[in-house]
Amino acid sequence: MKITPIRPQWLTEIEFGSPLEFFDTDPLVWKKMLYDRTTIIFKGMNFSKEDYCTFSTIFGYPSGIVTPMRIGAATKAQDNKLRGLQPFSNKTLPFLGGNAMPWHADIPNHETRAFPIRTLWMYNNPNPNGGFTSFLNIADYIGLLSKRLQDLIPRIKVTQQDWFKPDGLKFQSGVNAQEFNLLKVHPVTGKSSLRLNNYGPSEWISGVNVDGVKQADCSLIQEYIDEIAMHEEMIYTHKWTLHDIIVYDNWNLVHNRTALDLPPDSERLLYRMNIDHFPNA
């Protein structure tokens, strides 16, 4: 097993001689590593779908937020092994599948399952030179912000919903929209970070208040993102290769993606799984 710290504070890459070597390590080691490091990249994980599901559940219990998609399991026993597995591609979700995606965190304010751990497994990638995914560490940076932005943090509240809604498309508009303090605290590690999702009338964050006064727009959120992204050690851009798995904790970061730029009729397919921080939530 080769372990490489990609960023000193928060991101690790791991490569095995065989992907099944992953299971030789105590599961608690992997879960602790994720909470310590926020993001882990596993290279060359040429698994079966069942192995991928078993791999993902090492990090916790599959989330009940999204109804699992059936992918042709032959038996009930096999179907149980594939619980929580979701295909994600430019064909299964065409309104998100090909375009660039802005900075966001997944499922940010579900009542009991906010900011889940997520695993992404690259299963088919027709164009490795498109669809780069960048991660921005928003849990280790507050002291790097300008004094003005630091001083504003306790004065800001944001209105945020659970799901992204592209303009002109009916997709979970306004689901569970609530107002929150800008500062949030990780329920497991106690780390502080900010709610810095993409913003706008039909995006994750749809309103910003400062001292109870609604702002004309949400551009203040962009100021925080821009200042953090100025620090090279807080950002990482991943160029996907076949069978990469990325495991990341949505509490501690936001991510984006460039456009896929795919050949006609081709499909970039990942499998993904959401993992609850608390199995009984």
Residues 6 or more apart whose CB falls under 8 angstroms from that of 237 comprise 132, 133, 134, 135
| Architecture of the CATH domain 2-276 | 4-Layer Sandwich (3.60)
Question: Which residues are paired to 127 by β-bridges?
Answer: none
- H-run or E-run covering 154: none
pLDDT band at residue 64 under the 50/70/90 scheme: low
Tens of pLDDT along 8-51?
Answer: 999 999 999 999 999 999 999 999 999 999 999 999 999 999 99
d(CA 84, CA 66): 8
Closest CA to 36 of 58, 65, 8: 8
Write out 223-279 in H/E/C secondary structure: HHHHHHHCCHHHEEEECCCCCCEEEEECCCEEEEECCCCCCCCCCCEEEEEEEECCC
DSSP state of 48: -
- What pLDDT, on a 0 to 100 scale, did the predictor assign at position 164? 58
Closest CA to 270 of 61, 51, 78, 86: 86
Task: Inform me whether the pLDDT recorded for 239 exceeds 70.
Answer: yes
**Is 141:135 a contact under the CB 8 Å cutoff?**
no
**Is 113:64 a contact under the CB 8 Å cutoff?**
yes
Task: Inform me whether the pLDDT recorded for 65 exceeds 60.
Answer: no
| pTM assigned to the model | 0.90
Which sequence spans correspond to the domains of the chain?
Answer: 2-276
Closest CA to 273 of 128, 115, 63: 63
Mean residue pLDDT of the chain comes to 87
Task: Inform me whether the pLDDT recorded for 210 exceeds 50.
Answer: yes
Burial of 29 (0-12, 13-18, 19+ CB in 10 A): exposed
d(CA 59, CA 64): 15
Closest CA to 250 of 149, 156, 113: 113
